[in-house]
Amino acid sequence: MIQLIRGFKDILPGEVELWQHIERTAVLLFEDFGFKEIRIPILEHTELFSRSIGEDTDIVEKEMYTFSDRKGALITLRPEATASVVRAYIQHKLHSIDPVQKYYTIGPMFRRERPQKGRYRQFYQINAEVFGVASPLVDVQMVLMLMAFFSKLSVPDIQAHINSLGCPVCRVDFKSSLTGFLSDKTEHLCADCKKRSIKNPLRVLDCKVPGCKAVLSAAPLLAAHLCADCTQHFNTVTSRLSELKVPFVIDDRLVRGLDYYTRTTFEIQTGSLGAQNAIAGGGRYDGLVKALGGPDQPAIGFAVGLDRLASIVALNNADFSRRPDIFVAALGEKSQDMAFGWICAFCGEGIRAEMDFGDKSLKSQMKRADRLGAKYVLILGENEIEKGAAVLRNMATKAQNTILLPDVVQSVKEKIKHFERSTNLDG
Ligand SMILES: [Zn+2]
Ligand SMILES: [Zn+2]
């Protein structure tokens, strides 16, 4: 039997409703904040990622799914979304309509990392990007929007971790102090970092190898090298977050070695799942649009890891699956005919209706209605047709009503509307 590829997964009905709930929550909230959806391709020219993420990063060197297509073009399954959104912003000259653009996008990303529990090679993200705003207030808004998103999903114990990565001006100073610090410690660094410490020392900050992390715990801090403009930007972010009572900490070890990240960088962490876990991360990348051939426009974005988020929201045990409103149990050919007409009428009216297309007994049809969790069952057999009335059974209370056949569609619609009103009141 053919099985799925290692590191990939199916999201089956039963679980997928939870994902839909998370995605719907994001869409409604992000659109309130003025974001519009953008859909970008899954395949891009490899060069887009090697130029934006950087040649000597783990992602580009080891983790990308890169292929040559049948004509020999080098293409890559996107390992992240930002580069593609920036490409679209530049390619379609979206900045010429209005430099300020706010987008979100939801979809799969691909990285060939070592498979681990809860880590997939096709993983899902919600991304949001804002172009054309240099003000620190938009940094605050991005963090605020994420916090609102996670609290709507009842993610417990959320906290923002904030840092500043400075700008090219303050990095000159920092780079030389980092190089100095690393110079007599290269023997403790991994092979990649030995190269990086000379070529691009900022990349060492990103390394996940424990030995490198240990060395870096004593490394100089970027925060100590911020220029006056970057300091002011960061102070505005933190003071606004305090005013808005957003729970956050300044985390001066929070760094990204990615060249294009500048100034505010952040992660949202949750204490659920036993340990502190990042469920979203992002920051400013003021230099990227220009670096990819676009206008000199500042930008900021974030990515939410949907796989981990789904496993956290699942702990709340909420049921997001939609049960049938009505199951029509029809016995005999004539009844089946009438039933089919009714379910067609219901489904166009937003009522979730089911019937059994086989020639099953009443008992087995009732069993199936129960298994599907139907709220009502409408029973129609030869007897009922003779009497000119079907039986409507409320599956929770077991109460039964008879409904005249010509009134079925209308009466059932009213019952279900009433049912929804009363359960909404209960809830
Ligand atoms: Zn600066
Ligand atoms: Zn390393």
| Domain ranges for the chain | 16-167+227-314, 326-417
248-250: strand order across its sheet: 36-37, 101-110, 122-131, 299-305, 277-284, 262-270, 158-164, 248-250
Mean pLDDT of 63-90: 96
DSSP state letter for 321: P
Name the closest ligand to CA 212: 2
β-bridge pairing 277-284 and 299-305: antiparallel
Query: What's the confidence (pLDDT) of residue 58?
Result: 81
Q: What is the largest CA-CA distance in the chain?
A: 95
User: Tokens standing for 161?
Assistant: 């971790």
Distance from the first to the final alpha carbon of the chain: 46
Q: What angle do CA 300, 306, 308 make, to 5 degrees?
A: 115
- Residue with more model confidence, 157 or 256: 157
Instruction: Specify whether the CB–CB gap between 7 and 43 falls below 8 A.
Output: no
Helix (H) or strand (E) run with residue 237 in it: helix 228-243
Look up residue 87 and give its amino acid. R
Q: pTM of this prediction? A: 0.90
Please give all residues whose CB falls under 5 A of ion ligand 2, grouped by chain where several chains appear.
190, 193, 207, 209, 212
Distance 136 CA to ligand 1 centre (A): 13
pLDDT band at 270 (very low <50, low <70, confident <90, very high): very high
Among the residue ranges 160-164, 303-307, 356-360, the one predicted with the least confidence is 356-360
Q: Which residue reads 């979203």 in tokens? A: 280
pLDDT band per the 50, 70, 90 thresholds, residue 427: very low
Percent of the chain beyond pLDDT 90?
72
Burial of 358 (0-12, 13-18, 19+ CB in 10 A): exposed
Q: For residues 386 and 402, is the Cβ–Cβ distance under 8 A?
A: no
Q: What is the mean pLDDT of the chain?
A: 92
Tell me how far the alpha carbon of residue 277 lies from the centroid of ligand 2, in angstroms.
22
State the ligand closest to the CA atom of 208.
2
CA 286 / ligand 1 centre spacing (Å) = 12
- Does residue 26 surpass a pLDDT of 60? yes
Fold classification of 326-417 (topology level): Rossmann fold (3.40.50)
The per-residue pLDDT for range 302-355, each reduced to its tens digit, is 999 999 999 999 998 888 888 999 999 999 999 999 999 999 999 888 899 999
Ligand 1 centre to CA of 170 (Å) is: 4
State the distance from the centre of ligand 2 to the C-alpha of 64, rounded, in angstroms: 19
Query: Does the pLDDT at position 426 exceed 60?
Result: no
Q: How far is CA 171 from the centre of its chain?
A: 32
Buried b (16+ CB within 10 A) or exposed e, 144-159: bbbbbbbeebebeebb
> Quick one: how many helices (H) and strands (E) in the chain?
16, 16
Dihedrals phi, psi of 96, to nearest 5 degrees: -80, -20
Q: pLDDT at position 309, please?
A: 96
Q: Which pLDDT belongs to residue 222? A: 86
Task: Name the least confident of 96-105, 125-134, 353-362.
Answer: 353-362
With cut-offs at 50, 70 and 90, classify the pLDDT of residue 228. Answer: very high
Please check whether residue 146 is in contact with residue 280, taking contact to mean a CB–CB distance below 8 angstroms: yes
| pLDDT of the residue at 319 | 84
Q: For residue 172, how far is its CA from the centre of ligand 1 (angstroms)? A: 10
Q: State pLDDT tens for residues 375-414.
A: 999 999 999 999 999 999 999 999 999 999 999 999 999 9
Question: Ligand 2: distance of its center to the CA of 11 in Å?
Answer: 34
Interatomic CA distance for residues 283 and 177, integer angstroms: 23
Q: Domain spanning 16-167+227-314: which CATH class is it, in words?
A: alpha beta
Closest CA to 261 of 293, 291, 241: 291
pLDDT at 213 (0 to 100): 87
Q: Which of 149-158, 192-201, 260-269 has the lowest mean pLDDT?
A: 192-201
- Please name which of 420, 328, 302 lies closest in space to residue 381, comparing C-alpha atoms: 328
Q: Give me the mean pLDDT over the 406-426 stretch.
A: 80
Q: With 60 as the cut, is the pLDDT of residue 425 above it?
A: no
